[in-house]
Amino acid sequence: MKHKFEFLITTIVLIISFACSNEPEDISIDEDYTCTVDTVSFLSESTSKSGRVEVVFSVSLAGDTKFYNVTENYTVNNQLMTIGDNLIHINEFTAKGETATFDFYYGENLGPFCMELFSAIPMHSHNAFNAEADRVISEKNLGKWKIKKKRQLPSNEIPE
């Protein structure tokens, strides 16, 4: 009986000592972060060839969310919208009523914006996607579109 009691006490002490260890845990950052496009807003009266746009990215790490905004002029050539100095490309933007569809490409000059917001996020790449977005009614812009659905495109190459 005495040996069972000592065994039980020793087991409890070992369990507590492992549970209260000061060793840092290895946390896989890959599963704890997301970076995505949240909204695309047209800010000025646009012509068929140019205008001003704001793209908002949502970046989350371990439950904390920050936003990265790109507000730039854009030009359109053959349905390809180039935002800023090759920061972002939107192809075939089509709005029908309260829904829009378009292809979204991360430009070569956008850089690692996620890592600027959270230094713990590792280097990674963003894939081009086809978006379906819903119109958000706002007096601050002429057309704000909240992305609801994304489907990865087979290629990240920006159409010409």
- CB distance 142 to 42 below 8 Å: yes
Instruction: Provide the H-helix boundaries in the chain.
Output: 2-19, 113-117
Domain boundaries, the chain: 32-152
Note the pTM of the prediction, 2 decimals: 0.77
Q: How would you write the pLDDT of the chain (160 residues) with one tens digit per residue?
A: 555 545 445 444 434 433 333 333 333 344 589 999 999 999 887 677 899 999 999 999 999 999 999 999 999 999 999 999 999 999 999 999 999 999 999 998 998 999 999 999 999 989 999 999 999 987 666 789 999 999 999 999 999 8
Element (H, E) at 118: none
Q: What angle do CA 122, 123, 126 make, to 5 degrees?
A: 115
Integer angstrom CA distances of residue 156 from 5, 23, 39, 65: 65, 41, 20, 26
